[in-house]
Amino acid sequence: MILLSLKKLLAPGKCVRYLCQDETRVGLKTLTGKVITASGVKPTVEVKWQRDNFWIYGAIEPLTGKHFQSEYPKLNGDYFQQFLDWLSQQLGGDYAILQIDQAPAHTSSAIRWPENIIPLLQPSHSPELNPIERLWQFLKKLLKNELFSSLQNLRDRIQQLFDQLTFEQVMSVSSYNFILEALFYAASY
Q: Quick one: pLDDT at residue 1? A: 44
Decide: 122 and 102 in contact? Cβ < 8 Å.
yes
- The residues spanned by each domain of the chain are 2-8+16-32+45-187
Residues of the chain above pLDDT 90, percent: 63
Give the predicted TM-score (pTM) of the model. 0.83
Q: For residue 34, what pLDDT band results from cuts at 50, 70 and 90?
A: confident
Q: Angle at which helices 167-174 and 132-142 pack, to 10 degrees?
A: 120
CATH for 2-8+16-32+45-187? 3.30.420.10
| β-pairing verdict for 95-100 and 117-121 | parallel
pLDDT tens digits, one per residue of 177-187: 878 788 777 76
Q: Quick one: pLDDT at residue 31? A: 66
pLDDT tens digits, one per residue of 137-176: 999 999 988 889 899 999 999 999 999 999 999 999 988 8
In Å, how far are 22, 23, 100, 106, 170 from 103, measured between CA atoms? 10, 10, 8, 5, 24
